[in-house]
Structure 1
């Protein structure tokens, strides 16, 4: 399919007007519309042409996420548009995962409503969350604040709970755990997104970058494409790196110029640690150490981590209000943005 001849989407009256383009023959299960079931049992059809773009929520290597409104119903979606050509294997894998996500049975996973194929992209329609963990922790860094341990612990608990549920109940792994794939809302929910779907849709791309510089990749995946390099322990390592990053305010590894530099630092040097002067507990430091054990055979799996005192304490902690903490940080961020806008308007 010649993508260049079609050109970018055209905008009219604030909405996206998408020219009619039939899906390629190797994508039999995706159309330009889908049917979703509401909480009350009613069903509605969502057509791509009825979705109006409101704002961009994020952008990554595989595509862009935009907030869109469904004009007929007023429903708001987070729509991830993944630029991809889909082979048969990727189509089968994606269909399996989309069905699992659509079940809505895992409260730690971002709710999925449906998928469409338009303009050479796969559009994945999901619930809108308030902020990614990546943006959230940077808000605190910008104000010279460290994230409180109860917050970090509840994030870790939600992620491990979600990963464990999807592995045990659906037979799925994530393979791309990082702060930008963990989302928060003002009600205090912590949810995982991109549950391996981007990896399937961009299978050919993923294979070419596996040997490259991916900052959350575990040692076993850097050293070679072994069968056991894709076990659940790989996601455990990625979570460990994520927790080090959000607790210190910076990624534990330098930016690599070559794969050899990554090999040297991740594989051969000691695992990252969090400075004890930051004031986190012994349970926190031990949990990080367990996640970042170099030998994947010795690294704990989800069930073992759920029994760790760090997560047990988080599960029993009813005094820390996640929703209030997230809301207070976002509220302060909005106030600062308005203050800066006023300064710019006044020419100061």
Structure 2
């Protein structure tokens, strides 16, 4: 695989590991298919961050579920790592909330559908001894067709039977109490994801998670020392929704339901299919490029590697590609167990 097989279009996302471009395949049978390309500058990261990237690639490659984001192929280009993935052209649920639903989504069927799809992906994760550790609306992606995917597996971890994780990781507002106390207790297991799922459910109906207005350290202290957030009579929400959320937000992890048992909750009888999500949400959203604001810091992150004597930024990577003859299929690795480009990185015991 090589970078010349893709024509990069607009930047549609960014994160601590790099930027994401919309792109078009320029060779092979998938000619002009639209994909997403995450581009990571490997030289910018210490080894422990590279381990997170390697872990995300492995999880995406080995997962096979309709609600888990997979990747087509992954390859290195000099000091860059390119991850080619299906394009989620409505972005994240978190971004949709910020742009269009600041007070939350009022359509109960839509909320139930989104949460059920997340939960199905989470249940698959847990059945395969994986813990996500960063469940939130910002890590739930939507396609224009209304399909919903759990994504961002950089801090996910494999838990052997009877084993607990002890790494302090995640996003403060969504972190379970036992994750915050993990260094001082027996650690945490899959039930930490259930807490985060409950917070995500509140985020969907209110537009933001509890404690969002506080600084991170204050949030962590409040989660550790205060009673868990609970939905009560003053919350004008469906009773079955409140019961489902409150069951997730028990401070004692053993009192929380599993993902499998949550799927049997009465609230999820309201869930519909991806066609409903399309008709009531994704079909009315503008193009992703109009919803995403890329900070100047990330603009032009992709360097022109074709000219080794120049250290300039290449803002038009598609120029000149049409004159070259190409026979290699950039998506030929779809569904295959291709070699992990980061396989040789040192393992870190989480």
With normalisation by structure 1, the TM-score equals: 0.68
Per-residue displacement from partner, 1:36-78 (whole Å, max 9, x unpaired)? xxxxxxxxxxx22332221122222232222122222212221
Q: Which residue of 1 aligns with 2:228?
A: 271
The answer to which of 318-327 and 151-160 deviates more is 318-327
Question: Cα distance 1:268–1:63, how it changes in 2: closer, same or farther (>3 A)?
Answer: same
Q: Does 1:53 align with 2:8?
A: yes
Q: Does 1:113 align with 2:77?
A: no
Q: Which residue of 1 aligns with 2:203?
A: 245
- Give the alignment partner of residue 134 of structure 1, picking from 85, 94, 114: 94
Q: Which residue of 1 aligns with 2:284?
A: 329
Question: Cα distance 1:64–1:215, how it changes in 2: closer, same or farther (>3 A)?
Answer: farther
Q: Does 1:233 align with 2:188?
A: no
Compare the two structures and name the one with the higher helix fraction.
Answer: 1
Compare the two structures and name the one with the higher strand fraction.
Answer: 1
Cα distance in 2 between the residues matched to 1:212 and 1:110: 19
How far did 1:272 drift?
2.3
Cα distance in 2 between the residues matched to 1:226 and 1:122: 37
The answer to which of 132-141 and 212-221 deviates more is 212-221
Per-residue displacement from partner, 1:298-343 (whole Å, max 9, x unpaired)? 21111121121112x135x579822101134315999999xxxxxx
- Give the alignment partner of residue 152 of structure 1, picking from 108, 111, 123: 111
How far did 1:140 drift?
3.0
With normalisation by structure 2, the TM-score equals: 0.68
Per-residue displacement from partner, 1:280-301 (whole Å, max 9, x unpaired)? 2100011111111111122111
Q: Secondary structure at the match of 2:183?
A: coil
Q: Which residue of 2 aligns with 1:171?
A: 129
Per-residue displacement from partner, 1:183-241 (whole Å, max 9, x unpaired)? 112322111112x23668xxxxxx9x937962211111111237864411111111111
Aligned-pair RMSD on alpha carbons? 3.6
Q: Secondary structure at the match of 1:191?
A: strand
How far did 1:254 drift?
3.5
Higher relative contact order structure (alpha carbons within 8 Å, sequence separation ≥ 6):
2
Question: Cα distance 1:251–1:231, how it changes in 2: closer, same or farther (>3 A)?
Answer: same
Question: Cα distance 1:243–1:77, how it changes in 2: closer, same or farther (>3 A)?
Answer: same
Question: Cα distance 1:278–1:112, how it changes in 2: closer, same or farther (>3 A)?
Answer: same
- Give the alignment partner of residue 182 of structure 2, picking from 224, 228, 237: 224
Q: Secondary structure at the match of 2:174?
A: coil
Q: Which residue of 1 aligns with 2:22?
A: 67
- Give the alignment partner of residue 97 of structure 1, picking from 59, 62, 68: 59
Q: Which runs of 5+ in 2 are unaligned?
A: 158-164, 293-350
Question: Cα distance 1:250–1:113, how it changes in 2: closer, same or farther (>3 A)?
Answer: same
Q: Secondary structure at the match of 2:9?
A: strand
Cα distance in 2 between the residues matched to 1:252 and 1:243: 11
Cα distance in 2 between the residues matched to 1:334 and 1:49: 23
Q: Which residue of 2 aligns with 1:22?
A: none
Question: Cα distance 1:51–1:160, how it changes in 2: closer, same or farther (>3 A)?
Answer: same
